[in-house]
Chains A and B, each alone.
Chain A
């Protein structure tokens, strides 16, 4: 199952901007140091020198975040169709089959019932390796179900986003997933059940412009690129170079758009702490007294 060591086309395409380290040594995108890739893997795929966050394969992230043995995957029966008969250089239907073979997943999103740091949650995360995490009908449906399950069971919803936006190959149906997921969230909100949105690198387009920006609390990984329009589109429109650090998590924090930046290693205890506070628990989180030893901070 060590598929991250295999170099296939899907992961290559998906990680166009931020690589999953694969070779023996790798040049850090953050500080340009040459780093032993084994060391990077040991430190949760962060650079041991500068803390730069490389992209993390979905399986590793699930193992890092969800309590051991708690996760039950949901909605496995949902699979994509090709409603438009879309074709660019290849048929959309063929692309889907190839990606399903490469990733072992039906589409770009996975949903779970699980617990995080002891708190039961309705959880979902993007599989960026699948078509850049783009949101079509399947992704929109699964996210809607994550929110609906949170509402039914009165448990917090947690969604980790990493997506280029709506999926062009499903046309208007993809656009409507923005309205659908946001409507589900509107219902959840009226019940007083919290939703924490975690933004990974990158979160843009129709995903940013819907549920990802609607968290009661919005967290982001250091350095994640987050925004509505992609930097290339903005540069083409205004015909100017973009300022350094534009649309990075730190930029969004400064402009009041997100609540906090949380390094990968701290995400599980921080989420636990936050959920207990939102729940009105009087007891502090157990991880506050004894920091998780199994995942050292890089």
Chain B
């Protein structure tokens, strides 16, 4: 049962109805009660369809940040046997906004893989410890170290993306936040093992991409991916954060929009009402899609993977290229 106090405004009527059905089911009831439950369930399903068939971009942003949404470790614990977490960047510290480790991918017959991902925390205490899923440079450097390890051991990499963005702080800048992100982009482009990335919640800008260069990019149905947060975009272009809703629509950041722009390979459906209604089912759907893509990538050699990955990113962008006459040498005074 979901806590209605932690529900989004637009899903609250549904959550309340579902909870009521749950309560009625607890009662030892007769046929009359069973009939009543059936009516309510039909009403809930109508209400769910009504709400979820017509979500605005901003509502999808809210869902992607839902406090009850499954986070990276919720998926890893359901997808992996023998998860062995590895810590630290070997230079400064262990950033708990990024988790990584080896595990056996259950839907793929227990095959060992590297899991890497952003990790948000549930509840104030853990959220602080995880810095709300906003990594510092050492988080990205831990990720780089583990992904390079996976490449040496010829293990595929599963990256789970869920961050508002890289942490903007004095210490992060002092230790080279920009360099840490940049280095991961370069290194991930050159790892000769399959990389499948899944945006499970918020794909926040360079901080997301720094764990997200891949052969296959999947997005969950109610996840988002953008170059800047809608709040950030609004405060720069509209000079006020209150325009975040407009900015979210303008930036085309929902899974459907991103697919239309040719960036995403597959959208992973979520359980009815969103991933937070059923962690097990959400993980099963992610596991099925990831395994399918890993199996397809298995057929490629290391070099073929790298060539394919280069071609994938090389083709991204939208511009015209009209033929023009040869330019005379630049006049230098």
Tell which of A78, A171, A178, A237 touches B251, judged by Cβ atoms closer than 8 Å. A171
Query: Do B169 and A237 touch (CB < 8 A)?
Result: yes
* Nearest CB of B to A53, in Å: 21
Task: With a 10 A CB-CB cut-off, give which of B189, B238, B313 has the most chain A CB atoms.
Answer: B313
Query: Do B251 and A168 touch (CB < 8 A)?
Result: yes
Q: With contacts A175-B205, A209-B181 known, is A228 near B250, CB below 8 A?
A: no
* Nearest CB of A to B167, in Å: 8
Query: Do A72 and B329 touch (CB < 8 A)?
Result: yes
Determine whether B223 belongs to the interface, using a CB cutoff of 8 Å to chain A: no
The contact string, 1 if C-beta is below 8 Å from chain A, for chain B 300-333, is: 0000000001100110111111111001011011
User: Once bound together, how far apart are the Cα atoms of A74 and B237, in whole Å?
Assistant: 32
Determine whether B158 belongs to the interface, using a CB cutoff of 8 Å to chain A: no
* Nearest CB of B to A195, in Å: 11
The contact string, 1 if C-beta is below 8 Å from chain B, for chain A 128-146, is: 0000000011101100100
Task: With a 10 A CB-CB cut-off, give which of A74, A77, A89 has the most chain B CB atoms.
Answer: A77
Task: With a 10 A CB-CB cut-off, give which of A138, A190, A213, A227 has the most chain B CB atoms.
Answer: A213
Contacts of A179 in B (CB 8 A): 185, 189, 209, 213, 313, 316
Contacts of B233 in A (CB 8 A): 168
* Nearest CB of A to B253, in Å: 7
Q: Residue of B at shortest CB range from A185?
A: B186
User: Once bound together, how far apart are the Cα atoms of A174 and B323, in whole Å?
Assistant: 24
Contacts of A167 in B (CB 8 A): 227
Q: Residue of A at shortest CB range from B320?
A: A79
Q: Residue of B at shortest CB range from A75?
A: B321
* Nearest CB of B to A21, in Å: 19
User: Once bound together, how far apart are the Cα atoms of A182 and B182, in whole Å?
Assistant: 7
Tell which of A172, A187, A205 touches B261, judged by Cβ atoms closer than 8 Å. A172
Contacts of A137 in B (CB 8 A): 316-319
User: Once bound together, how far apart are the Cα atoms of A173 and B320, in whole Å?
Assistant: 14
Query: Do B227 and A206 touch (CB < 8 A)?
Result: yes
Contacts of B227 in A (CB 8 A): 166-168, 170-172, 174-175, 206
Q: With contacts A69-B329, A76-B327 known, is A234 near B173, CB below 8 A?
A: yes
Contacts of B232 in A (CB 8 A): 233
5 shortest interchain CB distances as A-B pairs: A229-B168, A137-B317, A182-B185, A183-B189, A83-B318
Not counting A73-B327, A172-B225, A172-B258, a sample of 11 additional A-B residue pairs whose C-beta atoms are within 8 angstroms of each other reads A68-B332, A80-B320, A114-B330, A170-B227, A172-B226, A174-B227, A183-B313, A183-B314, A186-B187, A209-B181, A228-B177
Provide a sorted-by-A list of 21 A–B residue pairs whose CB atoms are within 8 angstroms. A66-B330, A71-B330, A78-B321, A89-B238, A112-B330, A141-B319, A144-B314, A166-B228, A178-B185, A178-B206, A182-B186, A206-B205, A209-B177, A209-B206, A213-B179, A214-B179, A214-B182, A214-B183, A237-B167, A238-B169, A256-B176
